[in-house]
Amino acid sequence: MALDGYTDTRMSRQAMKAELLDAETELRLAYAWRDRRDEAALHRLIHAYMRLAISMAAKFRRYGAPMNDLIQEATLGLMKAADKFDPDRGVRFSTYAVWWIKASIQDYVMRNWSMVRTGSTSSQKALFFNLRRVQARLEREAQARGERLDAHQLREQVAREVGVPLADVEMMEGRLAGSDYSLNATQSADEDGREWIDALEDEADQAETIVEGRHDAEQLRAWLVRALKNLNARERYIVTERKLRDEPRTLESLGQELGLSKERVRQLEAAAFAKMRRSLEDQSLEVRHFLA
């Protein structure tokens, strides 16, 4: 049920005009969808409870998300509820749907609150949606007792109340207190000021490192070519097929091709590597760095 082109006001007006289902009609529609996948029954059930979805979406406007997006998520939750609802359990659909609508909206808010993820575990969700409310209640209760809680005491009590570690409370407070800023924003009011992204360290290899890497790779390649030339044709073929192909050959397949046993191919391979190592060591002591 896409909402592109719809305003939240228009959606609300349409929802308010929807029929109110009695328990018997609701049950009949739920059976029709569950047993026969009757899309007309599903549409009627969803449309009748859109006012519930919109009402719940409105409660999350304080988190700064667009109302249309909240309604979209609430509708998705409502549709999930309709798909999973079991009319045989004797529960009204609205009672069952509330949980799915709320879960869908909360997941959306958690995903979009900040560019830096706020977390998705059940304890983090409990903190995200209840931190301010629990803090306010604890402060009111302390005031009524004639006490004053400092910041640390308040965090400790919130942690106990919600059932999470103190470190999680401190982390969530920091995340909720901060805001997202664009890295393309300028560091000063001057239009020609440097953007924040320009202050980030470039983690890519510098030109000197790239040049040195290319030189070392070319040198090693030259050493390997000369070492391969010291092998006989059969040894060179085995090394090439075993180590220089994108998909190396097996000892068994090479043995079948060359008319040798798998063990004999392994012995020839080991002998070829020993020859190459001696050749490389003779060419330069620097190669020890590459063979380490």
pLDDT confidence of 184, banded at 50, 70, 90?
low
* 59 and 103, same domain (yes or no): yes
Residue 199 within any structural domain of the chain:
no
Residue 2 within any structural domain of the chain:
no
pLDDT at 117: 47
* 62 and 152, same domain (yes or no): no
Residue 183 within any structural domain of the chain:
no
**Tell me: the pLDDT tens digits for 127-165?**
676 777 788 888 888 888 888 888 888 888 888 888 888
- pLDDT higher than threshold 80 for residue 83: yes
pLDDT at 194: 65
Residues 22 and 71 sit within 8 Å (Cβ to Cβ): no
Residue 230 DSSP symbol: T
Which of 112, 132, 155 lies at the terminal end of a domain, its last residue?
112
* 219 and 274, same domain (yes or no): yes
Per the model's pLDDT, the better-predicted residue between 284 and 222 turns out to be 222
Average of pLDDT values for 179-195?
58
CATH at residue 58? 1.20.120.1810
| 270-275 long-range contacts, CB within 8 A, separation 24+ | 271/235, 272/231, 272/235, 272/236, 272/238, 272/239, 273/239, 275/227, 275/230, 275/231, 275/235
Which of 71, 87, 112 lies at the terminal end of a domain, its last residue?
112
Per the model's pLDDT, the better-predicted residue between 125 and 234 turns out to be 234
pLDDT at 5: 45
pLDDT confidence of 82, banded at 50, 70, 90?
very high
pLDDT at 1: 47
Per the model's pLDDT, the better-predicted residue between 67 and 3 turns out to be 67
Q: Residue 172's domain spans which residues?
A: 122-177
Residue 27 DSSP symbol: H
Into how many domains does the chain fold?
3
Share of the chain above pLDDT 70, in %: 74
pLDDT at 78: 93
**Tell me: the pLDDT tens digits for 218-237?**
877 887 888 888 888 898 89
- pLDDT higher than threshold 70 for residue 192: no
Residue 43, Cβ density class (10 Å: 0-12 exposed, 13-18 middle, ≥19 buried)? middle
The model carries a pTM of: 0.44
d(CA 240, CA 290): 19
Residues contacting 34, CB < 8 A, separation 6+: 85, 86, 87
Residue 146 within any structural domain of the chain:
yes
Residue 215 within any structural domain of the chain:
yes
φ/ψ of residue 165, rounded to 5: -65, 155
Average of pLDDT values for 25-46?
92
Average of pLDDT values for 89-106?
89
- pLDDT higher than threshold 90 for residue 28: yes
pLDDT confidence of 107, banded at 50, 70, 90?
confident
Average of pLDDT values for 21-44?
92
pLDDT at 189: 58
Highest mean pLDDT among 79-83, 102-106, 153-157 belongs to 79-83
Share of the chain above pLDDT 90, in %: 20
